[in-house]
């Protein structure tokens, strides 16, 4: 589907329909996470963090644009903010920075051209591919520990992964140079370890010292042998998600409105 959209976009571009200028911009907004420590809540202020970014957009025509974007944000969650008895007893928390570089294609639902008054606004949707880096940490009694080196589930994982960003928003040309846009983009990641939680507690004796203490912080032990070792810790059937709601201003790079260069003379 993504490849087909790119093909259509370039086909339309070859017909020289619409505007083809570049835009460079800055963005700010909020980020949050959905996964084992926050399975369902999308709009919960307990999980919001500030996010900032920069973007570069190439308008292919009035319907399609390509956008490259770099965003820095933060993700976190705490079992103690949940109403689930399982989570409350599990008693885990995490926080991670996230650095994302993405490439997306945008489809404008209305024809969009910042130089023509009747085309200066459009809602849009987007989809693409991103690569991101994360590094989950946990806080215990005021001390912060990096979780990946501790292998709290007896497994190693990469701190670099990919995701599929998709979402919707709107864009508005305030003037022929200054442009405003806002969107909500969800990311379906290909890792289940944004929160360092995925599968089961290791078997008894697999971990020692700090790794053992941080792996199982349960308030009560519930396994058949009187411990949690070897029992469920997370849900490995689903990957982690994260989202950005961003708004920003862009500057159009190109000939002035009405100039001979812009109309191709």
Domain ranges for the chain: 2-253
pLDDT at position 255 over 90? no
Band (pLDDT 50/70/90 cuts) for residue 5 is very low
SS3 letters for the chain? CHHHHHHHHHHHHHCCCCCCCEEEEEEEEEEEEEECCECCCCCCHHHCEEEEEEEEEEECCCCEEEEEEEEEEEEEEEHHHCCCHHHHHHCCEEEEEEEEEEEEEEEECCCCCCCCHHHCEEEEEEEEEEEEEECCEEEECCEEEECHHHCCCCCCCCCEEEEEEEEEEEEEECCCCEEEEEEEEEEEECCCCCCCCCCECCCCCCCCHHHHHHHCCCCCCCCCCCCCCCCECCCCCCCCEEEEEEEEEEEEECCCCCCCCCCCC
Cα separation, 253 vs 256, in Å, equals: 9
Give the pLDDT confidence of 17-57 residue by residue, as tens digits: 336 899 999 999 999 999 999 998 887 788 999 999 999 99
Q: Residue 258, SS3? A: coil
Q: What's the pLDDT score for residue 148? A: 97
Band (pLDDT 50/70/90 cuts) for residue 256 is low
Q: Dihedrals φ, ψ of 54, to 5°?
A: -130, 150
**What CATH number does the domain located at 2-253 have?**
2.40.160.20
pLDDT, mean over the chain: 90
Give the pLDDT confidence of 114-128 residue by residue, as tens digits: 999 999 999 999 999
Band (pLDDT 50/70/90 cuts) for residue 222 is confident
Residues above pLDDT 90, as percent of the chain: 80
Cα separation, 260 vs 170, in Å, equals: 30
Q: What's the pLDDT score for residue 52? A: 98
Residue count (the chain): 265
Q: Residue 38, SS3? A: strand
Give the pLDDT confidence of 115-161 residue by residue, as tens digits: 999 999 999 999 999 999 999 999 999 999 999 999 999 999 999 99
């Amino acid at each position: 589907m993504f490849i087909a959209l790119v093909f259509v976009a370039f086909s339309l571009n070859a017909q020289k329909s619409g505007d083809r200028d570049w835009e460079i911009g800055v963005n700010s907004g909020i980020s949050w996470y959905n996964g084992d420590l926050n399975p369902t809540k999308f709009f919960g202020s307990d999980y919001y963090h500030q996010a900032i970014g920069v973007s570069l957009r190439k308008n292919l025509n009035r319907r399609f644009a390509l956008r490259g974007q770099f965003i820095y944000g933060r993700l976190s969650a705490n079992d103690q903010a949940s109403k689930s008895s399982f989570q409350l007893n599990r008693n885990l928390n995490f926080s991670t920075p996230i650095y994302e570089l993405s490439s997306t294609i945008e489809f404008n639902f209305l024809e969009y051209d910042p130089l023509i008054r009747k085309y200066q606004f459009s809602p849009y949707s987007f989809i693409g591919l991103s690569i991101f880096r994360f590094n989950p940490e946990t806080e215990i009694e005021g001390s912060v520990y990096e979780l990946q080196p501790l292998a709290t589930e007896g497994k190693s994982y990469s701190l670099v992964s990919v995701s599929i960003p998709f979402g919707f928003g709107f864009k508005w040309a305030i003037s022929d140079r200054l442009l405003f846009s806002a969107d909500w983009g969800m990311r379906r990641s290909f890792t289940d370890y944004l929160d360092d939680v995925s599968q089961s507690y290791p078997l008894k004796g697999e971990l020692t010292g700090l790794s053992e203490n941080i792996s199982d912080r349960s308030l009560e032990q519930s396994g058949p042998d009187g411990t949690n070792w070897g029992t469920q810790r997370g849900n490995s059937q689903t990957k982690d998600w994260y989202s950005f709601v961003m708004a920003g201003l862009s500057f159009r790079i190109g000939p002035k409105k009405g100039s001979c260069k812009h109309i191709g003379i």
